[in-house]
């Protein structure tokens, strides 16, 4: 293992106006081409798996994603992140979240996330504090979420423009200040216009709404929270808003729908896992180079 930590990389990105992309892999064959693309672009990124990617897709479980990651391991450029482990999931069911996170740390995950965003504020703080303590004992950073990044729910969303104009689900600035101080989280996933891609079988192949971000609100959250902010639902947000968000606190950005739909489409068309992997590789390189401007930034982010 190289000397820098994921916490260092994300903090360096936060201070430099850059971002650490976190690529969600709902299918295990996606791991290798994403790692290869990141290395070939000389960027730094995370391979991520969320609970819904092994309950609603085919990632199978955190141990399987870890196995695929360590087979393609390139620790100078790519590390392993446990994404959304909810306290209450997208189907409104309670989740026994702590053993899942503890197991991931034991498996060698380099950062973890607990999602208590469907809880009342005090309960979210308490759950996050519990996970942060567990993670910090292993020198692993803890991500949490405050606000409602919509899109994973089973029912239909209100029209996007209605959501944006009303600020429905946006992270509250003063709550963010209190949340970080009392929970001990290292990174905070926020809502400021971003939405998740749909995960229901009927909707998962549909194009995402072209979202945007309330940049003024982001700047206020950045000042109040004073920790690196995380942008979930990164696929489909207009490039201008994505790039500008890096200067307003976003230091980690989740990308899932974009590369997942490429994989699914090419696999369906070609019946070839190799062709689908190549499509993911090319798309990941495009995202890193053209969309995010991260080519040849690895040393700057990692300090290595």
Count of residues in the chain:
304
- CATH class of the structural domain 6-293: alpha beta
Question: For the residues of 149-204, what is the DSSP string, one character each?
Answer: --S-SSSPPPPHHHHHHHTTTPPPHHHHHHHHHHH--SEEEE-SS--PPP-STTTT
- Say if residues 88 and 115 touch (Cβ distance below 8 Å): no
User: What is the DSSP pairing of strand 20-24 with strand 111-115?
Assistant: unpaired
Measured CA to CA in angstroms, residue 186 lies from 85, 134, 136, 195 at distances of 16, 13, 10, 22
Closest by Cα among 224, 221, 284 to 250: 221
pLDDT at 265: 97
What contacts 252, CB < 8 A, 6 or more positions away?
10, 13, 19, 20, 21, 22, 46, 143, 187, 228, 229, 230, 231
φ and ψ at residue 250, rounded to 5 degrees: -75, 120
Ranges of the chain whose pLDDT falls below 70: 1-2, 149-158, 160-162, 164-168, 196-210
User: What is the DSSP pairing of strand 142-145 with strand 45-49?
Assistant: unpaired
pLDDT at 196: 60
Q: For 20-30, how does the pLDDT look when each residue is reduced to its tens digit (9 = 90+)?
A: 999 999 999 99
- Say if residues 140 and 131 touch (Cβ distance below 8 Å): no
The CA-based angle 302-228-61, given to 5 degrees, is 75
Measured CA to CA in angstroms, residue 193 lies from 70, 107, 219, 292 at distances of 35, 34, 13, 19
Asked if 83 is an active-site residue, the reply is yes
pLDDT at 205: 57
Closest by Cα among 282, 285, 232, 248 to 90: 232
Catalytic residue among 83, 115, 172, 214: 83
Distance CA 156, CA 144 (A): 25
The two three-digit tokens of residue 211, written as one number: 């979202």
pLDDT at 211: 76
Give Cα 258 to chain centroid, integer Å: 13
pLDDT at 175: 97
Q: For 135-186, how does the pLDDT look when each residue is reduced to its tens digit (9 = 90+)?
A: 999 999 999 999 876 655 455 666 766 676 666 678 999 999 999 999 999 9
Distance CA 148, CA 296 (A): 34
- pTM tops 0.95, yes or no: no
Distance CA 35, CA 284 (A): 9
pLDDT at 212: 79
pLDDT at 153: 46
Q: Indicate the average pLDDT of the chain.
A: 90
pLDDT at 203: 47
Closest by Cα among 100, 105, 181, 177 to 141: 105
């Amino acid at each position: 293992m190289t000397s820098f930590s994921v916490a260092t990389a994300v903090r360096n990105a936060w201070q430099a106006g850059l971002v650490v992309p976190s690529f969600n892999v709902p299918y295990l064959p996606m791991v290798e081409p994403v790692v290869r693309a990141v290395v070939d672009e000389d960027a730094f990124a995370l391979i991520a798996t969320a609970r819904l990617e092994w309950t609603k897709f085919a990632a199978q479980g955190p141990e399987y994603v870890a196995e695929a990651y360590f087979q393609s391991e390139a620790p100078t450029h790519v590390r392993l992140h446990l994404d959304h482990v909810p306290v209450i999931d997208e189907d409104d069911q309670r989740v026994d979240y702590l053993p899942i996170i503890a197991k991931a740390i034991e498996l060698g995950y380099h950062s973890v996330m607990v999602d208590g965003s469907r809880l009342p504020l005090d309960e979210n703080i308490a759950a996050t504090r519990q996970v942060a303590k567990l993670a910090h004992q292993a020198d692993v950073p803890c991500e949490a979420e405050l606000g409602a990044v919509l899109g994973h729910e089973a029912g239909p969303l209100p029209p996007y423009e209605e959501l944006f104009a009303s600020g429905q689900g946006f992270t509250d600035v003063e709550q963010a200040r209190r949340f970080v101080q009392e929970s001990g989280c290292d990174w905070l996933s926020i809502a400021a216009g971003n939405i998740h891609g749909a995960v229901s079988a009927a909707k998962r192949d549909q194009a995402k709404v072209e979202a945007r971000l309330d940049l003024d609100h982001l700047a206020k959250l950045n000042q109040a929270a004073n920790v690196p902010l995380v942008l979930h639902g990164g696929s489909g947000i207009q490039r201008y808003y994505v790039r500008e968000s890096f200067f307003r606190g976003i230091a980690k950005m989740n990308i899932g729908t974009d590369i997942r739909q490429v994989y699914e489409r090419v696999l369906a068309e070609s019946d070839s896992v190799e062709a689908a992997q190549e499509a993911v590789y090319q798309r990941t390189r495009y995202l890193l180079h053209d969309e995010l401007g991260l080519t040849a930034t690895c040393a700057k982010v990692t300090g290595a």
